[in-house]
Structure 1
């Protein structure tokens, strides 16, 4: 183990309790992101009923924060590589809290759409920053498990928020209470992150700001790891790595685009279930609270599927199992679209769909962590998520227009069309080369000397 490289110290040392506390907080932040994204889906039947809007217009509302997430992943994800993961997370939390609070008081569709877009900016940046923190604060032996737990935080937020919505918020109040609840919980996370999450040693080692050794040692002491006396020397004889390498270096460029477009296609299918399940079930004759329970159970399925798949990735490679989950997800979405006569069947169909679809998401996040080197990990992840969010943002809009064009009774046809996104993701993964990003960057740099 290198005595001067903090990244190797983190990689090779046993995990401390303090490191696991950081991981738990990242899981909670991902859960918060999950609830904030799904809050509009829980509120959808109430919004439709109060303002009398068609599904195509509802699709625009449901996609607003997803569009914002695309911009936020690129803009604020890049900030995490330039100014630090911690500062980026705090800024994102502030933006999310303001956006959620203002959404609860919106008086028309377009005001609500604007505030949901602003909320999405924070969510997108948060996803890129927290993903990097998990990757850089965990040992190599524990990283796969930590990443799997982190990813299932996203549907876990939907589960917790769903139970709150179906048993309390949508029973005692109206759809606006869902957004207020999200604003309060988001605000509570700001002091927790400020007090308990250190900047990652890998960020300081990559950026090398003034007083880098002192800052790295402060982070290492907080994480209960041994400190360093000096940083390894930079290899000045060769070109220094840049975050723009994700689009300029041949090896990283192909990984970036294949991950970006594959993730984009998969989110077309993924967010069809997440965004329209509540409205579909409500249109089948169930109450808003009952319809919300379908999405709650869908997220339970997503959490279980993601957890099981993440643990299995410790023994399996990433690509083949992820392709299998994608194909099973396609079948489950088609079955969801076949329609069901009772609430239990709707719940199980949602559970099964998200079980497989979120397992595939775990596979993609594992590929993000492996595919990009540390100096560009947040930027690479943010870029891929930003491009991928085009599929997420387009999903409810496309589904809404399909429903308006074909009719609500054509649920199976719409579901099969929307499931084709995951089919396209399979083809992207088939061509994806899987290798460690840091090793690939070292090989490329050595070749240029």
Structure 2
């Protein structure tokens, strides 16, 4: 006898168990190692610049190279994940990160280093999109922001590890040691996780995968479910593999898409400027190298705590209210950095990380709830891809500002402006979510 199994309903009424936490943990571990790779160049730059006699403006181009790859990788991965599945794109992207980082350790000049950082960035962009989509689709609706954010904090944890181990690695093995570790660790991890990372259940059902395979995974999630021949798995969206960018602007999603693109652009501009240049900015303010590296670690620690707190608040209090508070916190603390002294600067940097990094991870988690399954990777990938334009601008602007002799206080005050604009933009997201619901459910206010 044929049964119709509605996946969304079953996943929502079943508590998060060992299998789903295994998926989240797998993506989290990948995110940790990729976060290491994202920020590794920021800790190599202060050592490599004088060694190779690289001007700050040119080093800005080196730092931007990885972001160029992130932009390309985010856009490509969004489409490829919706066409071929989350799992193969995730595994392939991790291998690309590993190859790019190992090649970076072999670079003999700036041109080669830029090329290898682009390759690494393409892999990182793919990892981000695939991890977000896979985690979101195994999470229940009422905890999705918390679960996705819990996975996403792996990236700043990896960045913190890079800050802690970069100095001893460079002292022992030279700057190349940072990239060798950043390349070998993801390779070893992916070999360990190859069998444990499943495909998205919703994607599998939409793509017409064999029902017994979908049923086998579902039985590991829901104890009360047992596969029977003839079971059909129902997903609330249209068939997979047909996602188009135009769908991001249809059915009441246009305003939300534009807002997510703007917020990601402005937020990532500030985030990547600080990720890449914070140690150098503080050194220009006469901090020691050790103190500058510690400040970068504190920025990531704040990002970790802020991401978890904001993600939980989204599920409890709603996206708009939470994100607005997060961005106002970011604007205020970045502005305060211009006036902080030695006794308070680490605490303010941690709060700035909670606002700037925490809000970015949180808004990405919120974006996964805005788009339906068949265009989720495309929607999130496009938002991150557009945001990567800000990621490109951030390191370039940082290099230009430092090269032009702009005072650290002036830089921090300038960065408070885009964070305030993000806070204002989030206020409009309520209307965007409302417009989408009215179109999807006519007659519902």
TM-score by length of 2: 0.90
Question: Does residue 1:383 correspond to 2:382, yes or no?
Answer: yes
Cα displacement (A) at 1:351? 1.5
Cα displacement (A) at 1:270? 1.5
Quote the Cα distance in structure 2 between the aligned partners of 1:441 and 1:47: 54
Cα displacement (A) at 1:439? 5.9
User: Which residue matches 1:431?
Assistant: 428
Q: Deviations over 1:16-60 (max 9, x none)?
A: 211101111111222222211101111110111211222211111
Task: Spell out the pairing of 1:136-215 with structure 2 (5 A cutoff).
Answer: 136-166=137-167, 168-209=168-209, 211=210, 213-215=211-213
Cα displacement (A) at 1:227? 4.9
Quote the Cα distance in structure 1 between the aligned partners of 2:79 and 2:435: 18
SS in 2 for 1:196: coil
Question: Does residue 1:293 correspond to 2:294, yes or no?
Answer: yes
User: Which residue matches 1:353?
Assistant: 352
Cα displacement (A) at 1:326? 1.0
Cα displacement (A) at 1:231? 3.0
Cα displacement (A) at 1:245? 4.7
Quote the Cα distance in structure 2 between the aligned partners of 1:435 and 1:307: 23
Q: Give the CA RMSD over aligned residues.
A: 2.7
Quote the Cα distance in structure 2 between the aligned partners of 1:191 and 1:174: 27
User: Which residue matches 1:392?
Assistant: 391
User: Which residue matches 2:93?
Assistant: 92
Quote the Cα distance in structure 2 between the aligned partners of 1:325 and 1:232: 37
Gap runs ≥5 in structure 1: none
Q: Quick check: 2:333–2:351 contact (8 Å CA) kept in 1? A: yes
Q: Quick check: 2:269–2:390 contact (8 Å CA) kept in 1? A: yes
Quote the Cα distance in structure 1 between the aligned partners of 2:298 and 2:364: 23
Q: Quick check: 1:339–1:411 contact (8 Å CA) kept in 2? A: no
Question: Does residue 1:36 correspond to 2:37, yes or no?
Answer: yes
Tell me: CA distance 1:192–1:233, structure 2 relative to 1, closer, same or farther (3 Å).
Answer: closer
Gap runs ≥5 in structure 2: none
Q: Quick check: 2:85–2:203 contact (8 Å CA) kept in 1? A: yes
Cα displacement (A) at 1:307? 1.4
User: Which residue matches 1:272?
Assistant: 273
Cα displacement (A) at 1:119? 0.5
Which range moves more in the overlay, 36-45 or 184-193? 184-193
Task: Spell out the pairing of 1:114-133 with structure 2 (5 A cutoff).
Answer: 114-133=115-134
Which range moves more in the overlay, 283-292 or 59-68? 283-292
SS in 1 for 2:198: coil
Which range moves more in the overlay, 3-12 or 293-302? 3-12
Quote the Cα distance in structure 1 between the aligned partners of 2:165 and 2:236: 52
Quote the Cα distance in structure 2 between the aligned partners of 1:54 and 1:414: 19
User: Which residue matches 2:330?
Assistant: 329
Quote the Cα distance in structure 2 between the aligned partners of 1:165 and 1:113: 20
User: Which residue matches 2:371?
Assistant: 372
User: Which residue matches 1:52?
Assistant: 53
Tell me: CA distance 1:394–1:39, structure 2 relative to 1, closer, same or farther (3 Å).
Answer: same
Quote the Cα distance in structure 2 between the aligned partners of 1:15 and 1:295: 34
User: Which residue matches 1:419?
Assistant: 416
User: Which residue matches 1:363?
Assistant: 362
Q: Deviations over 1:147-173 (max 9, x none)?
A: 22112222111122222224x213323
